[in-house]
Amino acid sequence: MATPKDYGFMRRALDLAEIAASRGEVPVGAVLVHDGKVIGEGSNRPIGDCDPSAHAEIVALRHAAAGLQNYRLPNTTLYVTIEPCTMCFGALVHARVRRLVYGACEPRAGVVESHLSLGQMDFFNHKIYIESGIMAEEAGRLVREFFYDRR
Protein backbone atom coordinates (compact mmCIF):
# COMPACT_ATOMS: atom_id res chain seq x y z
CA MET A 1 0.00 0.00 0.00
CA ALA A 2 1.31 3.43 -0.97
CA THR A 3 2.49 5.84 1.71
CA PRO A 4 3.02 9.64 1.69
CA LYS A 5 6.76 8.97 1.29
CA ASP A 6 6.01 6.95 -1.85
CA TYR A 7 4.37 10.02 -3.35
CA GLY A 8 7.35 12.19 -2.44
CA PHE A 9 9.82 9.86 -4.12
CA MET A 10 7.56 9.53 -7.16
CA ARG A 11 7.40 13.33 -7.34
CA ARG A 12 11.21 13.34 -7.63
CA ALA A 13 11.02 10.68 -10.35
CA LEU A 14 8.53 12.87 -12.24
CA ASP A 15 10.91 15.83 -11.95
CA LEU A 16 13.65 13.67 -13.44
CA ALA A 17 11.30 12.62 -16.26
CA GLU A 18 10.72 16.28 -17.08
CA ILE A 19 14.49 16.78 -17.24
CA ALA A 20 14.73 13.90 -19.72
CA ALA A 21 12.01 15.48 -21.88
CA SER A 22 13.87 18.80 -21.87
CA ARG A 23 16.86 16.94 -23.39
CA GLY A 24 14.66 15.36 -26.08
CA GLU A 25 14.62 11.96 -24.35
CA VAL A 26 11.46 9.96 -23.60
CA PRO A 27 10.33 11.36 -20.23
CA VAL A 28 11.05 8.61 -17.73
CA GLY A 29 12.61 9.17 -14.32
CA ALA A 30 13.68 6.74 -11.60
CA VAL A 31 14.72 7.03 -7.95
CA LEU A 32 16.26 4.22 -5.87
CA VAL A 33 15.72 4.45 -2.12
CA HIS A 34 17.21 2.59 0.85
CA ASP A 35 16.07 3.24 4.42
CA GLY A 36 14.24 6.38 3.35
CA LYS A 37 17.24 7.91 1.57
CA VAL A 38 17.86 8.31 -2.15
CA ILE A 39 20.91 6.27 -3.14
CA GLY A 40 20.52 6.51 -6.90
CA GLU A 41 18.51 8.36 -9.47
CA GLY A 42 18.36 8.77 -13.19
CA SER A 43 16.41 9.83 -16.20
CA ASN A 44 16.33 8.42 -19.70
CA ARG A 45 19.56 9.13 -21.61
CA PRO A 46 19.95 6.60 -24.45
CA ILE A 47 20.04 9.29 -27.15
CA GLY A 48 22.41 11.67 -25.37
CA ASP A 49 24.69 8.91 -24.11
CA CYS A 50 24.53 6.88 -27.35
CA ASP A 51 23.72 3.94 -25.10
CA PRO A 52 20.65 1.77 -25.71
CA SER A 53 20.78 0.55 -22.11
CA ALA A 54 20.66 4.06 -20.57
CA HIS A 55 17.05 3.80 -19.42
CA ALA A 56 16.17 5.73 -16.27
CA GLU A 57 16.04 2.56 -14.17
CA ILE A 58 19.46 1.38 -15.32
CA VAL A 59 20.99 4.83 -14.74
CA ALA A 60 19.58 4.86 -11.17
CA LEU A 61 20.86 1.32 -10.47
CA ARG A 62 24.32 2.17 -11.82
CA HIS A 63 24.46 5.33 -9.71
CA ALA A 64 23.54 3.43 -6.53
CA ALA A 65 25.80 0.45 -7.22
CA ALA A 66 28.80 2.70 -7.88
CA GLY A 67 28.13 4.67 -4.70
CA LEU A 68 27.79 1.54 -2.58
CA GLN A 69 30.50 -0.37 -4.47
CA ASN A 70 28.14 -3.34 -4.74
CA TYR A 71 26.07 -4.64 -7.64
CA ARG A 72 23.51 -6.03 -5.22
CA LEU A 73 21.01 -3.52 -3.89
CA PRO A 74 18.87 -5.47 -1.40
CA ASN A 75 16.16 -3.84 0.70
CA THR A 76 15.71 -1.03 -1.80
CA THR A 77 12.68 0.44 -3.54
CA LEU A 78 12.80 1.71 -7.10
CA TYR A 79 10.33 4.43 -8.03
CA VAL A 80 9.90 4.85 -11.77
CA THR A 81 7.37 6.90 -13.68
CA ILE A 82 6.57 4.27 -16.33
CA GLU A 83 6.22 0.49 -16.21
CA PRO A 84 9.63 -1.13 -16.86
CA CYS A 85 10.66 -2.98 -20.02
CA THR A 86 12.22 -6.46 -20.04
CA MET A 87 15.79 -5.17 -19.80
CA CYS A 88 15.01 -2.97 -16.81
CA PHE A 89 12.94 -5.59 -15.02
CA GLY A 90 15.75 -8.12 -15.45
CA ALA A 91 18.24 -5.64 -14.02
CA LEU A 92 15.99 -5.12 -10.98
CA VAL A 93 15.93 -8.86 -10.37
CA HIS A 94 19.72 -9.17 -10.71
CA ALA A 95 20.25 -6.20 -8.37
CA ARG A 96 17.88 -7.79 -5.83
CA VAL A 97 15.68 -4.70 -5.57
CA ARG A 98 12.99 -5.50 -3.01
CA ARG A 99 10.14 -3.29 -4.21
CA LEU A 100 9.13 -1.63 -7.47
CA VAL A 101 6.74 1.31 -7.46
CA TYR A 102 5.73 2.69 -10.83
CA GLY A 103 3.30 5.24 -12.16
CA ALA A 104 1.72 4.62 -15.55
CA CYS A 105 1.48 1.43 -17.54
CA GLU A 106 3.47 1.21 -20.75
CA PRO A 107 1.13 -0.54 -23.22
CA ARG A 108 3.79 -1.10 -25.88
CA ALA A 109 6.78 -2.43 -23.94
CA GLY A 110 5.83 -2.76 -20.26
CA VAL A 111 6.35 -6.26 -18.90
CA VAL A 112 5.06 -6.03 -15.35
CA GLU A 113 1.35 -5.88 -16.12
CA SER A 114 0.88 -4.75 -19.75
CA HIS A 115 2.69 -7.80 -21.19
CA LEU A 116 4.26 -10.97 -19.80
CA SER A 117 3.52 -10.25 -16.09
CA LEU A 118 7.17 -10.93 -15.27
CA GLY A 119 6.70 -9.97 -11.64
CA GLN A 120 4.45 -13.00 -11.20
CA MET A 121 6.74 -15.53 -12.84
CA ASP A 122 8.19 -18.17 -10.54
CA PHE A 123 11.33 -18.92 -12.55
CA PHE A 124 13.25 -15.95 -11.13
CA ASN A 125 15.39 -16.58 -8.08
CA HIS A 126 14.27 -13.25 -6.57
CA LYS A 127 10.79 -11.86 -5.97
CA ILE A 128 10.08 -8.13 -6.33
CA TYR A 129 7.06 -6.63 -4.59
CA ILE A 130 5.22 -4.45 -7.07
CA GLU A 131 2.92 -1.48 -6.68
CA SER A 132 1.56 0.37 -9.68
CA GLY A 133 -0.55 3.41 -10.42
CA ILE A 134 1.21 5.89 -8.11
CA MET A 135 0.74 9.30 -9.77
CA ALA A 136 -0.11 7.43 -12.96
CA GLU A 137 -2.09 10.23 -14.55
CA GLU A 138 0.77 12.70 -14.32
CA ALA A 139 3.35 10.16 -15.49
CA GLY A 140 1.20 9.08 -18.43
CA ARG A 141 0.46 12.68 -19.38
CA LEU A 142 4.19 13.48 -19.61
CA VAL A 143 4.72 10.66 -22.09
CA ARG A 144 1.57 11.43 -24.11
CA GLU A 145 2.48 15.12 -24.41
CA PHE A 146 6.06 14.29 -25.33
CA PHE A 147 5.01 12.10 -28.26
CA TYR A 148 2.16 14.41 -29.28
CA ASP A 149 4.61 17.31 -29.53
CA ARG A 150 7.00 15.21 -31.65
CA ARG A 151 4.32 14.29 -34.21
**DSSP tag of 46:** H
| Known active-site residue 83 | no
**DSSP tag of 40:** E
Catalytic residue among 25, 41, 57, 113: 57
**DSSP tag of 29:** E
Dist CA 62 CA 65 (whole Å): 5
Tell me the DSSP string of 79-135.
EEEE---HHHHHHHHHHT--EEEEEE--TTT-TTTTSTTGGG-SSSSS--EEEE-TT
**Residues carrying an active site annotation:** 57
